[in-house]
């Protein structure tokens, strides 16, 4: 079996459907950037340039089941050619190759990765853009998640480094209002999105601890690893980081220098299921729980869930959001009911690959 083509189809959901096609008629699917406001900062034009000028010339004609070899080629290089493609580019292709591998063998991806420790994955409802909201507006979004059946939550401020320490008092008021709404025992995390200095993060974290917080995510800019260690050492709450980091080598630095309590690789930003699985194995070695970053729904979310299901220390809930994926009813029409949560959980099927049931008629209707 050989790869014959790799194509992208931009969809109204805000992403593009990527297909790795073969001469055996078996396809692997993933979601690539679509250029929509739903995926800010992700460029379809840039992805397609990599696809046409590097990825297709390298992969077309190759055996798609040689996943590790293709990962090494794209992430590093081959023979005398040095590629060093960005991790999200590598990760997107990797998702599709794992899906194809499952379809060819008739097995779900979690089985091919060594077997699932669990196939029912608790989720938490992730909602963001707190920086531009009032506390009551954030509470309304949390209530929407509650009405959908979620009982675990994370609120994101989406502050960035250039808005450092902009309004910690409002952030605290927002967290307090949500914490008071939720029943005792309901999971609640807080994502500062790199928005605090070290001293503010410690002060804010201590105040959150008094209210009850389950994890404190990216409290300071990602480049300040010594500062991250200061924050993690000063607080009792579990501090998490890693969503923006690429490849296992940076996660090694993250552990050695920043020493967060939880590692949070993103299925694309870290380099795809192949690399995330390696990061999970490293996390076990250094006794770190893992908790994937994945504020999305759809094919790539399913890749994250399949990979997460295989690790024994995956005891915390998996992120779920529709902010960057499009409406759930459209996703279900495109990819099947298996991409939808049930009462706050995701139940992984035993269908081949990532369990996606692609509706070609819906693809045609939503193509832009």
* Element holding 71 (H helix, E strand): helix 67-75
Tell me if 355 is assigned to some domain: no
Tell me if 147 is assigned to some domain: yes
Same domain, 83 and 146: no
SS3 at position 307: helix
Same domain, 190 and 69: no
Contact present, 280 and 311 (Cβ < 8 Å): yes
Residues 92, 89: Cα–Cα separation, whole Å: 5
Same domain, 71 and 141: no
Tell me if 353 is assigned to some domain: no
Same domain, 92 and 124: no
Taking the whole predicted model, whether its pTM rises above 0.95 is answered as yes
SS3 at position 111: helix
- pLDDT tens-digit map of 36-45: 544 544 689 9
Q: What is the DSSP letter of 21?
A: E
Contact present, 20 and 32 (Cβ < 8 Å): no
Q: Domains in the chain: how many in total?
A: 2
Per-residue pLDDT band at 346 (split at 50, 70, 90): very high
Per-residue pLDDT band at 183 (split at 50, 70, 90): confident
**CA 203 to chain centroid:** 28
Same domain, 218 and 327: yes
SS3 at position 169: helix
Same domain, 210 and 295: yes
Average pLDDT over residues 193-202: 96
CA 104-106-110 angle, to 5 degrees, is 105
Residues 280, 351: Cα–Cα separation, whole Å: 24
Give pLDDT, residue 78: 86
Per-residue pLDDT band at 325 (split at 50, 70, 90): confident
Same domain, 195 and 321: yes
Tell me if 276 is assigned to some domain: yes
Who contacts 283 (Cβ-Cβ below 8 Å, separation ≥6)?
263, 289, 290, 311, 313
Q: Which of 39-48, 105-114, 208-217, 253-262 has the lowest mean pLDDT?
A: 39-48
Same domain, 85 and 123: no
The enclosing domain of 268 has a CATH number of 3.20.20.120
Phi, psi of 40 (to 5 degrees): -60, 140
**Tokens representing 261?**
């309590």
Contact present, 145 and 153 (Cβ < 8 Å): yes
Average pLDDT over residues 113-130: 96
Per-residue pLDDT band at 206 (split at 50, 70, 90): very high
Same domain, 238 and 292: yes
Tell me if 190 is assigned to some domain: yes
The enclosing domain of 88 has a CATH number of 3.30.390.10
Residue 161 pLDDT > 70: no
Tell me if 223 is assigned to some domain: yes
Residues 221, 161: Cα–Cα separation, whole Å: 6
CA 331-335-339 angle, to 5 degrees, is 70
Contact present, 157 and 170 (Cβ < 8 Å): no
Tell me if 117 is assigned to some domain: yes
Average pLDDT over residues 148-153: 97
Same domain, 91 and 125: no
Same domain, 76 and 137: no
Give pLDDT, residue 12: 92
Question: Alpha helix locations (H) across 106-224?
Answer: 109-112, 135-147, 168-181, 198-211
Residues 355, 367: Cα–Cα separation, whole Å: 22
Strands (E), 198-326: 215-217, 239-241, 262-263, 318-320
Residues 331, 20: Cα–Cα separation, whole Å: 20
Tell me if 220 is assigned to some domain: yes
Residues 262, 178: Cα–Cα separation, whole Å: 23
106 or 162, which is more confident:
106
Give pLDDT, residue 34: 86
Same domain, 28 and 57: yes
**Tokens representing 231?**
């924050």
Domain residues for the domain of 55 are 3-106+360-366
Contact present, 340 and 327 (Cβ < 8 Å): no
């Amino acid at each position: 079996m050989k790869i014959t083509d790799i194509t992208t189809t931009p969809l109204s959901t805000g992403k593009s459907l990527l297909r790795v096609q073969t001469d055996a008629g078996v396809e692997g699917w993933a979601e690539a950037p679509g250029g929509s406001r739903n995926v800010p900062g992700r460029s379809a034009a840039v992805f397609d340039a990599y696809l046409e000028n590097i990825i297709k010339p390298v992969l077309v004609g190759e055996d798609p089941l040689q996943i590790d070899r293709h990962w090494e080629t794209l992430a590093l290089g081959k023979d005398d050619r040095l590629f060093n493609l960005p991790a999200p580019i590598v990760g997107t292709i990797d998702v599709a190759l794992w899906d194809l591998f499952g379809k060819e063998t008739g097995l779900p991806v979690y089985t091919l990765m060594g077997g699932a420790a669990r196939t029912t994955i608790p989720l938490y409802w992730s909602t963001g853009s707190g920086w531009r909201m009032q506390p009551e507006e954030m509470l309304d979004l949390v209530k929407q998640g509650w009405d959908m059946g979620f009982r675990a939550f994370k609120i994101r401020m989406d502050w960035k480094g250039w808005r450092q320490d902009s309004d910690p008092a409002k952030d605290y008021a927002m967290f307090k209002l949500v914490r008071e709404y939720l029943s005792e025992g309901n999971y609640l995390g807080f994502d500062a999105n790199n928005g605090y200095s070290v001293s503010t993060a410690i002060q804010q974290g201590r105040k959150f601890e008094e209210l009850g917080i389950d994890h404190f995510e990216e409290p300071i800019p990602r480049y300040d690893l010594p500062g991250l260690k200061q924050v993690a050492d000063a607080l009792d709450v579990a501090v998490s980081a890693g969503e923006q980091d690429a490849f296992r080598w940076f996660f090694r630095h993250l552990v050695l220098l920043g020493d967060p309590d939880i590692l949070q690789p993103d299925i694309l930003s870290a380099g795809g299921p192949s690399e995330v699985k390696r990061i999970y194995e490293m996390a076990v070695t250094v006794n770190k729980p893992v908790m994937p970053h994945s504020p999305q729904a759809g094919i790539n979310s399913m890749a994250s869930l399949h990979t997460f299901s295989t690790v024994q220390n995956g005891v915390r809930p998996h992120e779920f959001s529709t902010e960057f994926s499009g409406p759930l009813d459209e996703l279900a029409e495109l990819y099947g009911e298996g991409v939808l949560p049930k009462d706050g959980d995701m139940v992984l099927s035993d269908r081949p690959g990532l369990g996606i049931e692609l509706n070609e008629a819906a693809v045609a209707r939503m193509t832009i």
